Structure 1
Amino acid sequence: MRSDTPDQAGTVAELGEFNLIQRLTGGRAQPPSTLLGPGDDAAVVVASDGRVVASTDVLVEGVHFRLDWSTPEQVGHKAVAVNLADVAAMGATPTAVLVGLACPPRTTVELLDGITAGMWQEANRARVGVVGGDVVSSETLVISVTALGDLQGRSAIRRSGALAGDVVAVCGKLGWSAAGLAVLGRGFRSPVTVVSAHRAPEPPYDAGAQAALAGATAMIDVSDGLLSDLGHIATASAVAIDVRTDLLEVHQRLVDVGTALGADPRHWVLTGGEDHALAATFPGPSEVPDGWVTIGTVRRGEGVTVDGRPYDGPGGWQHWR
């Protein structure tokens, strides 16, 4: 029988499963969308629409995050953000997240406190609750987050609705996370704004519902790279998409980092993943909402081109490639 009290325990093995759950969930405020939070066999979340949008992502230490590059709070922030961005990309309003956590017995309670704090902070920014989950023992630190959303009477915005004649627009940062990863990979920790974009992305959650209300025909979360993810829309919609580089913003900070590292910042904007911006197609320029930037067009055909030509180089991230 373990004798350590929750305040004395240094590792999860010393703290124990149920004390850990209480530590990670106790005393947290929930938004109105949470009718019943942690503590029972399952949570109860508002779904006034009658339909629930659901998405899951798994983050593995050494693959999706490194604790020598990111703080525990940033890891928790990122785990929630990447999932809620998928819900927003369907045109839904995020409502809740559930967290699955697997970690070695030697994992410190302090580390999990930090990860949990980051999760709750990002959940609060998105106005959602962390309503439940599970904790198990494993050899590797793994975080699985399931995000839920409410369509609020709107149609889901799928990848398959783009039509020839539509325009393509984006909302959110592009290329910043890839630039931050390049900086970290060279052993640097600044500029902070660029590195932070990789450690803790900030998806434009409200822009998903905004695009749906404006008449978006297709939408996607830019997680693997702009060209790669627009390719998913092009394939699902059986259309061709052309991106115009003269319409793409390349922030001066990315230009500065590219100059310092001998890299082309435009490549980061076109192919860099993990910014979790939203990309969508709209019937015409007048339908593109405020805060969105038009970057290209949809036409008959197939595939994605840049300035009318195939892009020379990888289009984005793929696991196992």
Structure 2
Amino acid sequence: MTPEERPDTRTVSQVGEFGLIRRVTDDRRQPESTLLGPGDDAAVVSASDSRVVATTDVLVQNVHFRLDWSGPRHVGRKAVAVNLSDIAAMGAVPTGLLVGLGCSGEFSAEFVDELAAGMWEEARRAGTGLVGGDMVTATELTISVTALGDLQGRPPVTRGGARPGDVVALAGGLGWSAAGLEVLARGFRSPLSVVGAHRVPEPPYGAGPSAAEAGATSMIDISDGLLADLEHVATASGVSLDIRTDQLEVPQRLLEVASALGADARHWVLNGGEDQALVATFPEAAGLPDGWSPVGRVLAGEGVTVDGAEYSGEAGWRHWRQ
């Protein structure tokens, strides 16, 4: 084995802050929107629209991910995906990512390499890149990502525009991550179709801008669960939203996994978080763009119902729940 082929066993503290930054950023291809990338006091990203969409998410070890369930590449992809789905939910396209990493000096440098590789992989899937960030010492592995986006001349699609008579529609899958979480919590590592969905969500990035082009009146990404996140739309818009279970697909694979675990697949679909699907409302006359399926209606009133009735179970995830 040549010296070049030997594994790098150095820790983060042995490589050092600037050596680690070089490992993460060197020889990486930036998107055209990056006018000045990593290496200066700040990055410069084009904003041809004159408006910048910005969002931030923080992921903390043992709250948002577990390293005995997910590898560093999975965690890197997930950290990027949960941010870029918010950009898509505004009807924008991503233009750059700023990443803050806090970790112990005892982590291996190769762990950070894999984490960064996952971030770059997911960024490329969405057509963007990492333009800058920071690295600090921390007792708990913490990843903070700020995503930037471009509306391309369109108005932002907010949570507050739904109107009675609109169609509620979905892009992406629901329930997969919740099923994977339950499988992992039971001590299993398969089936990979659901375990993989929990480790790495796959937001339908292109569906957000296409919904905006088609005249979507409101939109949100599903991070805490369909019913919980639609409650935000109902409150912001001053309307009621009714989800129809005869329109909401429960995939056969989820039914099989639920049967094996003695669980309820429909509950996963209605309340499972972290799939990062998109749900939007559209005027009925506008029709739905490709990739979107109707799942309900906007009505006068308030709150969210399922088949015309209040949902009896617990809806979605909340931090600091009592």
User: 2:196 maps to what in 1?
Assistant: 196
Tell me, in whole angstroms, the C-alpha distance in 1 between the residues paired with 2:204 and 2:190.
Answer: 24
- Over 3 Å counting, the alpha-carbon distance change for 1:22 and 1:9 in structure 2 is farther
Distance in 1 between the 2:223 and 2:184 partners? 19
Question: Does the 8 A contact of 1:77 with 1:118 survive in 2?
Answer: yes
Q: Give the Cα separation in 2 of the matches to 1:196 and 1:45.
A: 33
Secondary structure of residue in 2 paired with 1:247 = coil
Residues in 2 aligned to 1:167 and 1:237: alpha-carbon distance in whole angstroms:
14
Corresponding position of 1:176: 176
Partner of 1:4: none
Matched to 2:259, the amino acid is T
CA shift in 2, pair 1:167/1:175, >3 Å: same
What is aligned with 2:234? 234
Matches within 5 A, 1:107-256: 107-256=107-256
User: How far off its partner does 1:10 sit?
Assistant: 1.1
Other structure's SS at 1:205 match: coil
Given that residues 240 and 304 in structure 1 are in contact (C-alpha distance below 8 angstroms), is that contact kept between their aligned partners in structure 2?
A: yes
Aligned to 2:35: 35
1:82 alignment partner, SS class: helix
Asked if the contact 2:30–2:129 (Cα under 8 Å) also holds between the matched residues in 1, the reply is yes
Moved more, 284-293 or 271-280: 284-293
Does the 8 Å contact 1:9/1:15 carry over to 2? Answer: no
1:67 aligned onto 2:74: no
| Alignment-derived partner of residue 91 in structure 2 | 91
Instruction: Map Cα deviations across residues 75-105 of structure 1 (whole Å, 9 max, x no partner).
Output: 0000000000001000001111110000011
Q: Distance in 1 between matches of 2:135 and 2:95?
A: 22
1:16: which partner in 2?
16
Q: Secondary structure at the match of 1:179?
A: helix
Which range is displaced more, 249-258 or 7-16?
7-16
TM-score (norm 2): 0.96
1:131–1:87 Cα change, 3 Å: same
Paired residue secondary structure (2:99)? strand
Deviation of the 1:171 alpha carbon? 0.1
What is the CA distance between 1:287 and its match in structure 2? 2.2
Matched AA of 1:215? G
Give distance in 1, aligned partners of 2:139 and 2:200: 25
Deviations 1:185-209 (A, max 9, x none): 1011111011100100000011100
User: 1:162–1:218: 8 Å Cα contact kept in structure 2?
Assistant: yes
* Equivalent position amino acid for 2:194 in 1: V
Task: Tell me the number of residue pairs that the alignment of Structure 1 and Structure 2 aligns.
Answer: 315
The alignment partner of 2:319 has SS state of coil
Q: Is the 8 A contact 2:172 2:203 kept in 1?
A: yes
Paired with 1:9 and 1:48, the residues of 2 have a C-alpha distance of 44
Return structure 1 stretches of 4+ with deviation > 6 angstroms: none
- Please list every run of 5 or more consecutive structure 1 residues that lacks an aligned counterpart in the other structure: 1-6
Structure 1: how far apart are the matches of 2:150 and 2:105? 37
- 1:8 to partner: Cα distance: 5.6
- Letter matched to residue 69 of structure 2: W
The whole-number CA distance in structure 2 between the counterparts of 1:138 and 1:75 is 17
In the aligned structure 1, how far is the partner of 2:293 from the partner of 2:178? Answer: 20
What displacement does 1:234 show? 0.1
Q: Secondary structure at the match of 2:10?
A: coil
Equivalent residues of 1:102, 1:135 under 8 A apart: yes
C-alpha separation in 2, matches of 1:86 and 1:251: 25
| Deviations 1:125-159, CA, capped at 9 Å, x for gaps | 11101000000001000000000000000000000
Match of 2:319 in 1: 319
TM value normalised by structure 1: 0.97
Tell me, what secondary structure is at the counterpart of 1:245? coil
Q: What CA distance in whole angstroms lies between the structure 2 residues aligned with 1:21 and 1:291?
A: 38
Letter in structure 2 aligned against 1:292: W
- 1:287 — aligned with what? 287
- The one-letter amino acid of 1:228's match is A
1:9–1:20 distance in 2 versus 1, CA, 3 Å: farther
Give the 3-state SS of the residue equivalent to 1:96 in structure 2. strand
Q: Distance between the aligned counterparts of 1:315 and 1:165, measured in 2?
A: 24
